[in-house]
Structure 1
Amino acid sequence: MAKKVLVLIGTKKGAFILESDAERRGWDLRGPFCETWPIQHVVADPATGRIFGAGGNPWFGPAVWRSDDFGATWTHSSEGLAYATGEQPVKAVWSLAAGHGRLYAGVEPAGLFRSDDGGLTWTHLEGLQKHPSRPEWNEGGAGLILHSLVLHPEDERQIWVGISAAGVFQTSDGGETWEARNRGTRADFMPEDQRYPEHGQCVHCLVMAPGKPNRLYQQNHCGMYRSDNGGRSWQSIEAGLPSSFGFPAAVHPRDPERLYLIPLNGDIAGRYMPEAKAAVWCTGDGGETWGDRREGLPQQSAFFGVLRQALATDSLEPAGVYFGTGSGSLYASTNEGESWTCVAQHLPTIASVETLVIDD
């Protein structure tokens, strides 16, 4: 049966969907959806085909939008997306993850919610905010947000989260209790004798390697890291990269050794492409070596950045790779990053890029 690829795009002014067939030579753009709310993350549940959009801000409030018809129509609910009376209110939903018949939402201020009915109602998993380190969590540049959600593919009770600026935390009991997993990651903004704390690191993105649940990759404010034991310890893999600073990371859909990154020129140097020349960096050996992929990307005046959830792969063969920029352009590669084409321009600031492959 023929396949169709949907590229799901979250922007500051609603969600958009790019569609193509399996050849991925021509693209059709639909949107904006979600009534042009700020949409931080758009994901699909591959088990049901439902599409969800995480959104809101202090003005609109938090909500998770849902489409049961591949984006033709949308509804939203915020029932249960709230902390207890008297606590700081939830400002927005920043991240989503679907799996094991459930939907999880990471919010600002950092916390985790779960829905067992496809996003209609929500339950706060209070265990994360009861972690002893919670009073010491500090806001990152975008606020105190839970932006990375990683579900174990086989064990529904195991979840990893990334919080700026608190670090990586993991639960093995479905969210009742949590353990900080930051050993080996730096916090260069701390005093020199405190640069490897138990918590307080500014993790930017956390992803899991396919077929290896204990293999995690982390793009941090202060370096690039790999863990082979579920985050209990981390080793630096930034040697060979043009910068230790960046936001997004994306794994290959089948190869656990292959990872894609988009380094920026530094946290206080403009946060754009190094030397204003766009490149996606790739490793095929788990971060031991890196190479840049530039064909088709602008090599002058590329003063744009790419946000933490705006890089993704699809599941086709060869795998497609996609990234969206802060200036509203979407680039696609149909050959695993070897060359690139701009497939959309002039969109609002792109916050997230994800994919869904369906039968046409």
Structure 2
Amino acid sequence: MPGGGGLCLHTILPDPSNPDRLFVAISTGGVYRTDDGGKNWQPRNKGIRAKFLPPDQQYPEWGQCVHKVVSHPSNANRMFLQHHWGIYRSDDAGDSWNDIGNGVPSDFGFAMEIDPHDPNTVYVIPIESDEFRCTPEAKLRVYRTKNAGDSWEPLTEGLPQEDALETILRDNLKADANDPTGLYFGTRSGKLFGSKNGGDSWTMISEGLPAITCVKTAKIG
């Protein structure tokens, strides 16, 4: 499983309906799938554009810089992907991908999360670019789709909309199992935000922390 700029294996997704199938995603390597319990792996990157490559080489079989992949246990064939440049959806277990990045201020980013109660609801936090890795227009916005990427809406209530030059890394956005869904994300500047209503409104939980690189949720009791 090659990766031209590094072998960061950051995503592992099982298929609850097929114990022999597993997906992994690797930075500068792409998405790979096994259908025989790991004996053989095949790249699954058709339709993902590697914008950073020369124009005539932008759709390679492997080598894409995938930042995050999510899926829902109720439908493992439908997957969502945050690329180095681009937001994508697959409806056929990664055999092909379609660009769904229209409607966000930048399709560059790292963090992505799926709602545990709705396989069509996905959240991303756009970043300006690979050269300027902060939130676009100095506004901290979470974007949500409720229709599997056909449209996106900004979620801003309670989030700073001025001078908010924040960076959110790939594992810094996480949902809990509550209903309504709780969402949490952290920034490299040490701020932690939370929502009790699926992102409709946000509260700063803490600030002044060290750089946050991973957010997890757990049910206690």
Q: Distance in 1 between matches of 2:110 and 2:181?
A: 21
Q: Distance in 2 between matches of 1:186 and 1:158?
A: 25
Between 1:166-175 and 1:179-188, the stretch displaced more is 166-175
Q: CA RMSD in A?
A: 1.1
1:316 maps to amino acid? N
1:257 maps to amino acid? N
Q: Could you say which residue in structure 2 is the equivalent of 1:214? A: 77
Q: Distance in 1 between matches of 2:20 and 2:82?
A: 24
Query: Could you tell me the TM-score, scaled by structure 2's length?
Result: 0.97
Q: Percent identity?
A: 45
Maintained 8 Å contact 2:15/2:73: no
1:351 maps to amino acid? T
Query: Could you tell me the TM-score, scaled by structure 1's length?
Result: 0.60
2:128 maps to amino acid? N
Q: Distance in 1 between matches of 2:116 and 2:10?
A: 21
Deviation for aligned residue 1:154? 3.3
Q: Could you say which residue in structure 1 is the equivalent of 2:145? A: 283
Q: Are residue 152 (structure 1) and residue 15 (structure 2) matched?
A: yes
Matches within 5 A, 1:21-60: none
Q: Are residue 197 (structure 1) and residue 60 (structure 2) matched?
A: yes
Of the three residues 162, 174, 199, the one matched with 2:37 is 174
Deviations 1:129-160 (A, max 9, x none): xx5xx3xx211xxx421111111123332111
Runs (5+) with no aligned partner, structure 1: 1-130
Deviations 1:187-218 (A, max 9, x none): 01111111011000000001112411101000
Between 1:304-313 and 1:155-164, the stretch displaced more is 155-164
Matches within 5 A, 1:269-280: 270-280=132-142
Q: Could you say which residue in structure 2 is the equivalent of 1:64? A: none
Matches within 5 A, 1:329-340: 329-340=191-202
Q: Distance in 2 between matches of 1:220 and 1:191?
A: 17
Structure holding more strand per residue:
1
Q: Could you say which residue in structure 1 is the equivalent of 2:118? A: 255
Maintained 8 Å contact 2:22/2:35: yes
Q: Could you say which residue in structure 2 is the equivalent of 1:305? A: 167
Q: Distance in 2 between matches of 1:197 and 1:354?
A: 33
Question: Considering only CA atoms, is the larger Rg found in Structure 1 or Structure 2?
Answer: 1
1:221 maps to amino acid? H
Maintained 8 Å contact 1:248/1:307: yes
Q: Distance in 2 between matches of 1:187 and 1:163?
A: 14
Q: Could you say which residue in structure 1 is the equivalent of 2:89? A: 226
